[in-house]
Chain A
């Protein structure tokens, strides 16, 4: 069965540290890739998405993600995190269907 793996369940960083959250999927062929974020007390919202073209995707708030097809990965990165980045981050994948498969999420805590 298709799956999405987020191996980092809980990440703790200090402000200004660099961030990389892993996301791997088990689909073959062409996929659509998403990162969603849920800030404390807020709705789950889209951070960025990739369909085709440049495998380095820029999102909101300085986040980016790189699609590496050979590694079936779509890791999320940010060069310098802020306290306001504290949130839960979800990777999601689908193919030619509306059904999104979500990972289990990564809880990020950033300390000032």
Chain B
């Protein structure tokens, strides 16, 4: 599976929009871009998944440019409870759903 690269950490303040960008230059045609969130002492939790263009759900938006070599997770108006580690991953169906986690981005939201 192609490797993903994202910032190790980010700081933000409550109420701000946070954008976390992930690079995946070697993404394959059948890779889906997936983001997970992990709070301390909990297992990762699925946030959003996309293949191209823009995907939005009740939690976040995912922007994917035409070349798919990067993606941006957008969290609108973050709160203190959004402090967590965010992982960008590539999911490939023929890998049996195997997810390779990178080091993630540690987001710290301050009052």
Q: Is A bound to B?
A: no
- B residues in contact (CB < 8 Å) with A: none
